[in-house]
Amino acid sequence: MHELSIAEAIVDAVKEQMIENAGSTLKMLNICVGELAGVEVESLRFVMGVILEEEGFKDTEFTIRVKTAALVCSACGEKLPASRIGEICPECGEWNMKLTGDRAVTLESMEIEDEDQP
Ligand SMILES: [Zn+2]
């Protein structure tokens, strides 16, 4: 299961960060999924929740943002949604639409609360 290995990789990275920030509380994770990554966001959300709880981060919240892919015309720069792949450019009529987007799943940021602070 694709989403499971992604979630494990994210949580592993988080655990390393938390070793460096020992004594702090992990409040929030912000995850970004490229639309071309082939990730089922709802599945990822589910397994992230399970793994975070297993790893002792059950109070940590997280968000998953999808970075949408797009088609860009190489001739005139017109942009279309990625779902219209295979179409000619409606602007100039060239058959030159190139898919641009992200296949990566990244941990964009994490919020850590220092226990010494209120
Ligand atoms: Zn065009």
14/55 Cα distance (integer angstroms): 10
Q: Which residue has the tokens 């990554």?
A: 37
Q: 38 CA distance to ligand 1 centroid (A)?
A: 27
In this predicted structure, what is the pLDDT of residue 98?
Answer: 93
Angle, CA of 78, 104 and 79, to the nearest 5°: 5
pTM (2 d.p.) = 0.80
Position 4 confidence tier, pLDDT thresholds 50, 70, 90: very high
- Which protein residues have a CB closer than 5 Å to ligand 1 (ion)? 73, 75-76, 78, 89, 91-92, 94
Full set of structural domains in the chain with CATH: 2-68+102-113 (3.30.2320.50)
Could you tell me where the DSSP H helices lie in the chain? Answer: 2-20, 41-54
Q: What is the predicted pLDDT for the residue at 20?
A: 93
Distance CA 79, CA 71 (A): 6
pLDDT the model gives residue 22: 87
- CA 40–ligand 1 middle distance (angstroms): 31
* 73-109 residue pLDDT tens: 999 999 999 889 899 999 999 999 999 988 899 999 9
Per-residue pLDDT of 8-27, as tens digits, reads 999 999 999 999 998 899 99
